[in-house]
Amino acid sequence: MINAKAIHDVTGKKRYYLIKTWDEKKPIVTSLLYNPNDATSLMNDKTVNNVFNITVQAENNRFGSLIVVNLIPIKSKSPSLLSKHEKLEDEDNVEFLKEAFYLSDIILVGWGVDGGKIRNFPKTKELLLQHRSKLRCLGTTGNNIPSHPSRKTDKVIWSIYTLT
């Protein structure tokens, strides 16, 4: 059985945290993406489905929970429309990131090319640097941008990610 929980703001326009747990005794993976689409605690979207499957299959089923968090918590099917929010790092979101990173054994980063520049999120970047030994990705695009997991459909390999 999978237990799931999502935390939204009061308007429902932001999703701060989505956790799916299938084995509480096993380590946790946090996936840091750019922004949420429409996944809920009951229903996955394509990205959450891919990350979930990747996590379940990783390292011979080593992990038991997946936390999905985002650089920008605003739900949108068009990430390109969110670039204006990059300069406005959401303080509530930073607190949820802090909790997720602390709880996790691995932080799988994958904000992709639509995800803007991590330098626009200085508090998040600092948190990631504090947890640098946990950082993994599914490959990188140009300029050391971690690949977005929705682009991965075949057998994937997690690599160590070095934040610059």
pLDDT tens digits along 1-57: 999 999 999 999 999 999 999 999 999 999 999 988 888 788 788 888 889 988 988
CA-nearest of 54, 2, 12 to 33 is 54
Task: Identify whether the C-beta of residue 18 lies closer than 8 Å to the C-beta of residue 41.
Answer: yes
- Cα 123 to Cα 31: distance, rounded to the nearest angstrom: 17
Task: Identify whether the C-beta of residue 65 lies closer than 8 Å to the C-beta of residue 29.
Answer: yes
Q: What is the pLDDT of residues 77-94, one digit of tens each?
A: 887 777 766 667 899 999
What are the residues facing 8 on neighbouring strands? 15
pTM over 0.85: yes
How many Å from the N-terminal Cα to the C-terminal Cα in the chain? Answer: 39
